[in-house]
């Protein structure tokens, strides 16, 4: 959380207005995480499916840096893994202009849209990023969101954007990975 505070506030007020969070649902609640295991991020070893709420929440670890390079060493912090909602409220309280990009993989994108739709304070501060190749079409995504009980107005109040990486384009176009000229894509996008 300290790194996020510094990102949106800075040491002397020079922080930015955007932060990306990678939520992961653990026992039905969204936490700020990235991978499906605690490895590389926390002192918890193993899949999160083995963690239960009656256990202490693991603390984050951070990768050590030597000069300008990351090392393979990880250093424990005093910061426990935090609930997404708590983190979002804290970021908004630190910077009223913050935009929070929520990276949603698979069903997480639908869950995030439903969640944000019920929190009006974040309608102008959160954008849910989804990976379009995980859904057959837009209607499938809409139906999936509706399975998680969003606010009725979710289609007009929650910002949703696809994550389009060069690797995503051949999947969406249903062509082989060598069928697209990536150099041309980069030039066109630049």
Q: Tokens for 124? A: 């102008």
> What residues make up the domain containing 155?
2-33+81-189
Q: How far apart are CA 179 and CA 49, in angstroms?
A: 39
Report the domain count for the chain.
Answer: 1
Q: How far apart are CA 160 and CA 127, in angstroms?
A: 6
Task: For residue 59, tell me if it sits in a domain.
Answer: no
Task: For residue 159, tell me if it sits in a domain.
Answer: yes
The per-residue pLDDT string of the chain (190 residues; one tens digit each, 9 = 90 and over) reads 556 666 666 666 666 788 888 887 877 888 887 554 445 555 566 666 676 767 776 666 666 677 777 677 777 777 777 889 998 998 888 888 889 999 887 788 999 999 999 999 999 999 999 887 677 778 888 999 999 999 999 999 999 988 877 676 666 666 666 666 656 555 655 4
Task: For residue 158, tell me if it sits in a domain.
Answer: yes
- Judge contact between 164 and 185, C-beta under 8 A: no
Task: For residue 7, tell me if it sits in a domain.
Answer: yes
Helix, strand, coil % in the chain, rounded to nearest 5: 35, 25, 35
- Judge contact between 104 and 15, C-beta under 8 A: no
Q: Tokens for 129? A: 């990023």
Task: For residue 72, tell me if it sits in a domain.
Answer: no
φ and ψ at 62, to 5 degrees? -125, 150
């Amino acid at each position: 959380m300290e790194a996020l505070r510094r990102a949106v506030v800075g040491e002397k007020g020079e922080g930015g207005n955007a932060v990306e969070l990678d939520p992961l649902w653990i026992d039905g609640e969204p936490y700020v995480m990235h991978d499906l295991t605690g490895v590389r991020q926390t002192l918890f070893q193993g899949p999160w499916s083995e963690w239960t709420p009656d256990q202490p929440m693991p603390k984050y670890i951070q990768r050590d840096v030597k000069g300008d390079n990351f090392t393979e060493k990880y250093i424990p912090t005093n910061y426990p893994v935090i609930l997404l909602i708590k983190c979002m409220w804290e970021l908004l309280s630190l910077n009223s202009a913050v935009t929070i990009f929520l990276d949603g993989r698979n069903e997480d994108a639908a869950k995030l849209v439903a969640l944000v739709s019920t929190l009006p304070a974040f309608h102008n501060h959160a954008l849910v990023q989804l990976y379009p190749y995980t859904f057959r079409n837009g209607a499938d995504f809409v139906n999936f969101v509706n399975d998680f009980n969003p606010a009725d107005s979710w289609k007009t109040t929650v910002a949703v954007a696809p994550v389009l990486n060069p690797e995503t384009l051949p999947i969406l176009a249903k062509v082989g990975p060598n069928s697209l000229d990536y150099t041309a894509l980069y030039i066109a996008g630049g």
